[in-house]
Structure 1
């Protein structure tokens, strides 16, 4: 599944266009590698997303094309949340 579609379906990011913009800005990595919106996401992958001043690391648990709001959180598990380091 495409990264931007997964982020929208899991409701980590509200809109697919916004997910694409975030990925194109280099704020998302898959298993430590920079990711583009069209990058493939598989079950077991670890995504690190920079939301403002926070880094969120999640693990992909399942992939579904159609997801109800109540089921969205079951697509991933949060591994850690940490502030962005100021270098």
Structure 2
């Protein structure tokens, strides 16, 4: 069983950070590919990020209200199968 780490993607043109507004999952939750994991806010918009993996949520690596740099780890998913 593998664990995948989801990095905060660049969701806009050249934006370097985003704020974690609300987590839609908790550790231990089962998730499928494209299930919404988290809502983030950038300088331009609110965005829901879908899961690129199916598995069980491990750790939330950023708290609500945290500002996170693009490319930073935000969540782990155990038993993860990546989307094709």
Same fold (TM over 0.5): no
TM-score (norm 1): 0.32
TM-score (norm 2): 0.32
The answer to which structure has the higher strand fraction is 2
Which of structures 1 and 2 has the larger relative contact order (alpha carbons within 8 angstroms, sep 6+)?
A: 2
The answer to which structure has the higher helix fraction is 1
